[in-house]
Chain A
Amino acid sequence: MALKIVKGSIDRMFDKNLQDLVRGIRNHKEDEAKYISTCIDEIKQELKQDNIAVKANAVCKLTYLQMLGYDVSWAAFNIVEVMSSSKFTYKRIGYLAASQCFHESTDVIMLTTNQIRKDLSSPNQYDTGVALTGLSCFVTPDLARDLANDIMTLMSHTKPYIRKKAVLIMYKVFLKYPESLRPAFPRLKEKLEDPDPGVQSAAVNVICELARRNPKNYLSLAPLFFKLMTSSTNNWVLIKIIKLFGALTPLEPRLGKKLIEPLTNLIHSTSAMSLLYECVNTVIAVLISLSSGMPNHSASIQLCVQKLRILIEDSDQNLKYLGLLAMSKILKTHPKSVQSHKDLILQCLDDKDESIRLRALDLLYGMVSKKNLMEIVKKLMLHVDKAEGTTYRDELLTKIIDICSQSNYQYITNFEWYISILVELTRLEGTRHGHLIASQMLDVAIRVKAIRAFAVAQMATLLDNAHLLTGNMQRNGICEVSYAAAWICGEFSEHLENPMQTLEAMLRPKVATLPGHIQAVYVQNAAKLFATVLKSQEGNTDSTAAQETSQLMIERLPLFVQSANLEVQERASCILQLVKYIQKLQQKDVEVAEEVSALFAGELNPVAPKAQKKVPVPEGLDLDAWINEPPSESESEDEQPKAIFTKEETKHSRPRHIEVDEKELARRREARKQEQANNPFYIKASPSSQKVYQDTPGVEHIPVVQIDLSVPLKVPGLPMSDQYVKLEEERRQKERAEKKKKEKKKRKEKRSGRGKKHDSGPESEEDITPAHMVDIVTEEMPENALPSDDDDKDPNDPHKALDIDLDNLGEMAGRRPLADSEKLPVRSHRAVEAAKSPGEDGDAETVATQQPKKKSGKDKRDDKKKDKDKERKKSKDEKKKKKHKHEEKEEDLLRGEVHEPVVQSEGISQVAELPTSTSAEVSDLDFWLSNAPVPSNTQVESPPLPLPLISSVNTPLIHSMNYWSVICCFFSRNLSLYCLPMWISDLFFCLVLIFLTLVFFDTASSLKGHITLSSSILQPSSV
């Protein structure tokens, strides 16, 4: 033994500790990975030893390696071992390691439950503290359920150090085990008024987190928080509370009115910028919630904007950033007050800090008007040219488009200008937003009829120069633009000056390198162009020209027929056949142009994106009904709903090829050939076509030369948007002059001799008339579209489960007292009770009243079922629960039959406190909100009332109450038949009867989980 110890300690001398490990890693910079792997081997050896000190040292090193990115989950069990050491030093190492690498799917975590429970109740506050800290990082639903009650007890610990940790960790517990929120909430609320500021701050923290997600449930706490806000001096707490109020005000405008004054005072008095900023933020939120009908709040707005201006002008970039951020919130409701600071914001666009520029951009969005749009966009375009990073440039691009297109192009007066801006934007190298530009082009061209001729001309130029724009096809998002260009040229081809040239541009072989969905559009629109060209050429009675055009089509289209993309292939082959037929007709001198253009006659109007959804379902049509018998399951699983128009899908996801090595491919090819040769039904392809196939440039095999141009391309013949700014100025000048003239005339006519007073002022918004007669085609909607709001919340949000009605808890337990099932599960260790027969339960009841905190109905059943090994208990929990449900149901019925109110003993109603009327609570908040002075204690204690008889039957179950009465009547009559001495065996019979009745009434399922057992049911006196 002694030898062993000596040996162990000698070994330990050679063990590396954390410092040695770090030093070693630093000394092995070249072969770090190798060195670490030897270290890990050593650690594995160390972990095998019995000495806990060695293990702890090893775990400590593992924690460090975990930070470096090494997976140490294999040591999870050893970590648990170290956690369970009785020494604080090792315990701390163990918990730290656990907090760094345990997570919900770590399976050894279930072994820790009892250890953690032991540590939580340790007399040493630091053991408890370390356990709480560790638990906060790796709490799982199981741990939360099993430990919730222990942690709740700790919330009233004598040491504030423990209290604050326990309060904080409750938030994590709530997240993992939402059922604990209701029972724990009264105590959490108590902690808001804890004497220790740390605990108070923790409670505020937790409630703020909860309230942020589900604010409406926490409105009733407003008076309490208001009191805290006016009394607290801790800036952290104040900030949290003020943030919380920011979340609450949208729900209760009256609260906002009350808040304005203290917040304004704080803004004036505080020296802490963080607090000032949060106050301003909340004032903004308040003002948003009150946005209408409060004339005297313009002062507050002014104050906010003024303070924010100070922030933005500050040399501290952080303040500048936050100022802009808050400004953008004001902008939403009070754009006017922000617009006066346009100079400042444009100045921020030149800031060297990207975050600040982005914020300023956000602000610009709301500041544009018809008057300044061109100016602002011009400035942005300059930034686009200067921008270095693609992300910022892309951001600029989207912002420009957002700004211009907002509220249905409200601010655009000259669409020629807008189109040229879009065309200029296409010169951006490597932007990801090609499709955005494309959709804008399409949208404008379709909806603004007046602009079509101009747009078509521009797009034709774009198509001509497409090879320049899309130098680097595959990666370059900008090639999406050619999608729009081709479509516009095709659809509105009547506006083309030289359709033949465009047609040729669209049929260039280079087009075959474009993504499939774009090629498809090219092919389709080439056909439209073809129709137009034919029409013009036949009009000229020049039959040879028309035939040449057909010949061109026939020559170029086969390239597309061989495309790998199905869509392209299909369209191309259809059109090729069509053209061949046309050529035949042409050779017979038949006039075909009319008929061909009839193919594409009619106008395409834009359809609202939601139109399809809004088509009302006709009466008698069940969309979910099967038309045919449902196919077998395997089929239906494979089937994926396919979009009809697959533009979106194909855009970015190139078909992924499964990589098969060359040999395998060759082997398969050989096998296939063999098979084909032997198959008499296989039609062999003619050798010529196969050859063509190999020669044609498939998208995949072409080595695309990447053209990387450092200079932004200047495409000849494309317009510069700048000229429009000048033009616009001139136009406006002219208009103004004309107007003046008119006014003068008018005045002269009226002979009003007074001097000009007001016409020199700046022109107002309404004065600016659009350059074109803009007629924006509205999107089509089905005739009887239904208005619908379809913003769904994310169903996966973990906070959804915490949306629990918390009012009326505790002393206000009127509407929904805590049901027994809602009490926290407690670990019970009363094995004595297990052996008891129901007859003796009266005694158990008295014990229960003496041990209030250890009791709940559910766990008593647990005991009855035999006390299980603690580890095994959890795994069987599921099974047990089911059994309990039955028992609970039956026994609750028993209680129902007792027709005298059971006065619940105070001990048991540990959390389910006494109910009062709900209206008292509601009017309480109302009272507070409608009264200026803050009552010192707003939560009025109400006199205790006995619990209602069937307290656990909740409101949603009221409809089933009549079943209850039926059962009760039936049962009470039956009871008289049974005499007391035999009541135990009869009781069982009755239970069976009731259960059958329940099943009969089909309420079993709905009652499950709502009806639970109270511990006082089985008193013999009640029978």
Chain B
Amino acid sequence: MIKAILIFNNHGKPRLSKFYEHYSEDTEQQIIRETFHLVSKRDENVCNFLEGGMLIGGSDYKLIYRHYATLYFVFCVDSSESELGILDLIQVFVETLDKCFENVCELDLIFHVDKVHNILAEMVMGGMVLETNMNEIIMQVDAQNKMEKSETFIFQSTRQDR
């Protein structure tokens, strides 16, 4: 099970937070801060796993993260997930973002956090991995976006009619 997925930048500003277990807003912020603290002080060439912080998890949980340019992608998972598998999953996630946003950068995530959520929803659901095939994910995301577009089109045209 994945307990939480966090994306924050090099300064600890959250760019996306998805908790699959309920925490209060304050705790969530503390977890983000703590996780950032743990992750950011690590060198570039050390391993990408670390034992969970105090707030999230406990002994069974691990933080698995990857650092891309200005962003940290952190997954908090328990022992039923394969560590290397999750690393691959992060890679898939980032590549999918790259495809969907066309050369993704931090700004895309800042301004379109809802879209990032929608993409993530096609990969991980309720803490379990739903789909790992990038093409499949992109197909579903595109289909939903198309639907959204057609709806807004109808909406606008009806407004114009009136």
**Chain A interfacial positions (CB closer than 8 Å to B):** 2, 5, 9, 18-19, 22-23, 26, 53, 60, 63-64, 66-71, 87-89, 92-93, 96, 100, 103-104, 124, 126, 129-130, 132-133, 136-137, 139, 161, 164-165, 168-169, 171-172, 198, 201-202, 205-206, 208-209, 212, 235-236, 239, 243, 273-274, 277-278, 317-318, 320-322, 352-356, 358
Q: List 20 A-B contacts (CB under 8 A).
A: A5-B162, A18-B114, A88-B144, A88-B148, A88-B151, A89-B151, A96-B121, A103-B22, A136-B126, A164-B131, A171-B128, A172-B126, A198-B130, A198-B136, A201-B132, A202-B130, A236-B129, A236-B132, A317-B48, A354-B46
B114 touches A209 (CB 8 A): no
- A67-B17, A165-B130, A355-B50 known; A318 vs B151 contact (CB < 8 Å): no
Measured between alpha carbons, how far is A68 from B151 in the docked complex, in Å? 30
Q: How far is the CA of A198 from the CA of B135 in the complex (A)?
A: 13
Are A355 and B147 in contact, with the CB atoms below 8 A?
no
Binary CB contact string for chain B from 131 to 161 against chain A (1 if under 8 A, 0 otherwise): 1110010001001100110011001000100
Q: Judge whether B49 and A318 touch: CB under 8 Å.
A: yes
**Given the complex of chains A and B, what is the CA–CA distance between A201 and B136 in angstroms?**
14
Knowing A89-B152, A202-B130, A239-B85, say if A208 contacts B80 (CB, 8 Å): yes
Chain B, interface size category, equals 35 or more
Known: A69-B26, A96-B114, A318-B49. Is A126-B128 also a contact (CB below 8 A)? no
Cβ of A379 to closest chain B Cβ, rounded Å: 21
State whether B136 touches A168 (Cβ < 8 A).
Answer: no
Q: Are A239 and B47 in contact (CB under 8 A)?
A: no
Let me know if B159 and A9 touch, CB within 8 A.
yes
* A161–B136 alpha-carbon span in the complex (Å): 10
A236-B85, A277-B82 given; A209·B1 CB < 8 A: yes
List, in ascending order, chain A residues with CB within 8 A of B98's CB.
Answer: none
B84 touches A318 (CB 8 A): yes
A-contact bits for B8-26, CB 8 A (1 contact / 0 none): 0000001011101010111
A322 to B48, CA, bound (A): 11
Task: Determine how close the nearest CB of chain B comes to the CB of A827; give it in whole angstroms.
Answer: 23
A134 to B20, CA, bound (A): 11
**Residue B113, interface by CB 8 Å:** yes
- The answer to whether A355 and B80 touch across the interface, beta carbons within 8 angstroms, is no
Closest to B22 in A: A103
CB distance from A235 to the nearest CB of B (A): 8
Q: Does B82 contact A70, Cβ atoms closer than 8 Å? A: no
* Alpha-carbon separation in the docked complex, A320 to B49 (Å): 11
* B111 and A243 form a contact (CB under 8 A): no
Q: Are B143 and A126 in contact (CB-based, < 8 A)?
A: yes
A64 to chain B, nearest CB (A): 6
Q: Which of A9, A92, A322 contacts B118 (CB 8 A)?
A: A92
Q: Tell me the B13-67 residues at the A interface (CB within 8 Å).
A: 14, 16-18, 20, 22, 24-26, 28-29, 42-43, 45-51
Identify A355's interface contact among B51, B129, B162, CB under 8 A. Answer: B51
| A68→B87 CA distance, assembly (Å) | 26
- 10 further A-B contacts with Cβ under 8 Å, apart from A133-B121, A202-B130, are A18-B114, A69-B26, A88-B144, A92-B148, A100-B18, A130-B121, A235-B85, A278-B82, A317-B47, A321-B49
> Which chain B residues lie closer than 8 Å to A165 at the CB level?
125, 130
Q: How far is the CB of A524 from chain B (nearest CB, A)?
A: 37
The docked-state distance in angstroms from the alpha carbon of A66 to that of B117 is: 13
State in angstroms the CA–CA spacing of A317 and B45 once bound together: 7
- Nearest-Cβ distance from residue B81 to partner chain A, whole angstroms: 9
Q: Is the CB–CB distance between A352 and B20 below 8 Å?
A: no
What separation, in Å, do the CA atoms of A161 and B141 have in the docked complex?
12
Chain A residues contacting B111 (CB-CB under 8 Å) are 18-19, 22-23
B-chain residues with CB within 8 Å of residue A161 when the two chains form the complex: 140
Bound-state CA distance A171–B20 (Å) is 13
Tell me which residues across on chain A come within 8 A of B95, comparing CB atoms. none
B104 within 8 A of A: no
- Does B105 count as interface, using CB distance less than 8 angstroms? no
Cβ-defined partner of A169 (8 Å) among B25, B126, B148: B126
Q: Within 8 Å CB of B132, what residues of A?
A: 201, 236
User: Which residues of chain B have C-beta atoms less than 8 A from A201's C-beta?
Assistant: 129, 132
- Chain A residues within an 8 Å CB radius of B110: 22, 26
User: CA of A318 to CA of B50 in the docked complex: distance in angstroms?
Assistant: 10
B84 and A67 within 8 A (CB): no
Q: Which of B43, B87, B131, B152 lies in contact with A318, CB distance below 8 A?
A: B87
Q: Are B47 and A96 in contact (CB under 8 A)?
A: no
B155 partner, pick from A53, A69, A239, beta carbons under 8 A: A53
Q: Which 9 A-B pairs have the closest CB atoms?
A: A136-B126, A274-B84, A103-B22, A317-B47, A353-B46, A69-B29, A321-B47, A89-B148, A133-B121
User: Residue of A at shortest CB range from B120?
Assistant: A133
- Please, how many angstroms separate the alpha-carbon atoms of A879 and B100 in the complex? 52
Q: Are B125 and A168 in contact (CB under 8 A)?
A: yes
User: Contacting B85 at CB < 8 Å: which of A66, A126, A274, A352?
Assistant: A274
Known: A69-B26, A92-B148. A209 touches B126 (CB 8 A): no
Of B25, B26, B117, B128, which one neighbours A206 at CB under 8 angstroms?
Answer: B128
Cβ-defined partner of B131 (8 Å) among A124, A198, A243, A320 = A198
Distance of A277 Cα from B85 Cα, bound (Å): 10
With CB as the reference atom, state the residue of chain A lying closest to B30.
Answer: A69
Q: How far is the CB of B89 from chain A (nearest CB, A)?
A: 9
Do B16 and A67 touch (CB < 8 A)? yes
Q: List the B residue with the shortest CB-CB distance to A205.
A: B128
A172 to B88, CA, bound (A): 25
Partner of B47, one of A126, A236, A320: A320
Give the docked Cα–Cα distance between A476 and B94 (Å).
Answer: 46
A355 in contact with B144 (CB, 8 Å): no
User: Measured between alpha carbons, how far is A124 from B117 in the docked complex, in Å?
Assistant: 20
Chain B residues, CB < 8 A from A320: 47
Residues of B within 8 A of A66 (CB): 25
Which residues of the partner chain B approach A321 to less than 8 Å between Cβ atoms? 47, 49
**Which A residues lie within 8 Å of B136 (CB)?**
198
Q: How far is the CB of A311 from chain B (nearest CB, A)?
A: 10
A356 B82 Cβ-Cβ under 8 A: no
Instruction: Collect the chain B residues with CB atoms within 8 Å of residue A168's CB.
Output: 125-126, 128, 130
A355-B113 in contact (CB<8A): no
- Nearest residue, chain A, Cβ from B32: A69
**Residues B126 and A239 in contact, CB atoms below 8 Å apart:** no
Q: How far is the CB of A89 from chain B (nearest CB, A)?
A: 5
Closest to B43 in A: A352
A129 surroundings in chain B (CB, below 8 A): 140
Taking a contact as CB atoms under 8 Å apart, the answer to whether B129 and A243 are in contact is: no
Residue numbers in A under 8 Å from B125 (CB-CB): 132-133, 136, 165, 168-169
* Complex CA–CA separation, A18 to B108 (angstroms): 13
| Contact indicator B25/A70 (Cβ below 8 Å) | yes
A236 cross-chain contacts in B, Cβ below 8 A: 85, 129, 132
**Which residue of chain B lies nearest to A137 when distances are taken between CB atoms in the complex?**
B126
Give the distance in Å from the alpha carbon of A168 to the alpha carbon of B123 in the complex: 12
User: In the complex, what residues of A have CB within 8 A of residue B1's CB?
Assistant: 209
| A96, B122: Cα distance in complex, Å | 13
- Write the chain A residue with the least CB distance to B117: A96
Best-buried of A136, A164, A169 by chain B (most CB within 10 Å)? A136
Complex contacts, A89 vs chain B, CB 8 Å: 148, 151-152
Which residues of B sit under 8 angstroms from A96, Cβ to Cβ?
Answer: 114, 117-118, 121
* Given contact pairs A137-B126, A198-B136, A209-B128, A274 touches B148 in the complex (Cβ within 8 A): no
Rounded to whole Å, the gap between the CB of A71 and the closest CB of chain B is 5
When distances are taken between beta carbons in the complex, the residues of chain A under 8 Å from B130 are 164-165, 168, 198, 202
**CA gap between A201 and B26 in the complex, in Å:** 35
Cβ–Cβ < 8 Å partners of A205 in chain B: 128-129
The CA of A63 and the CA of B46, in the complex, are separated in Å by: 34
Contact residues in B for A126 (Cβ distance below 8 Å): 143-144, 147
Residue of A nearest to B6 (CB): A67
A104 to B23: give the CA distance in the assembly, Å. Answer: 11
Nearest-CB distance from B124 to chain A (Å)? 10
CB distance from A185 to the nearest CB of B (A): 17
* A352 and B46 alpha carbons, distance in the complex (Å): 8
Residues of B within 8 A of A60 (CB): 114
Closest CB of chain A to B126's CB: distance in Å?
Answer: 3
